[in-house]
Amino acid sequence: MAPPPSLMRAMLPGGLKAIAGALVANLTGLLVIAEDQPRAENRVELNPSAVDRFGLPGARIFHRYTRRDLAARKALLSRAKQVLREAGALFSVTWNVNTFSHAVGTVRMGEDPMTSVLDRDCAFRGVPNLWVTDGSVFPTSAGVNPSLTIAANALRVGSLIAGGVR
């Protein structure tokens, strides 16, 4: 899939804009996705010193890549470039996406109360009538988009709640 011409014009320096505009139909993209290793040190905490307009604390995100995470990125990037070369690419450009897309594991479900704040049905332990059904319940996403898994789990938990099982 080629990037939209408007993105090309916005992101490229002066002289390259015209060239890229003419070649955009011959461009393609290859996205490489790797999952970070789960680490207790990677977490979200309340930040009482950064309150929003309602007086509620903001979030403080702690995140660091492990050596394995960086090695996986390097290996995948190398392989992606090889695939593009073999497909006939004359050159490639690496664009690092620094985001927490599909973040999971911050409010985990599980059997063990010591490692999961939610039970297997996504009910918050010790707080009646509180369920969590977003991506945070999963300890891992296996490095893929978890949207359908999130939706399926939400339907499962919703059925339990609507059926009065809890």
Q: Which residues are catalytic?
A: 102
Rounded-to-integer distance, Cα 8 and Cα 10, Å? 5
Rounded to whole angstroms, how far apart are CA atoms 164 and 98? 42
- DSSP for 92-156? -------S-TT---SS-B-S-TTT-SB-TT-BBTTSTT-B--SGGG-S--TTS--HHHHHHHHHH
**Termini Cα distance of the chain:** 46
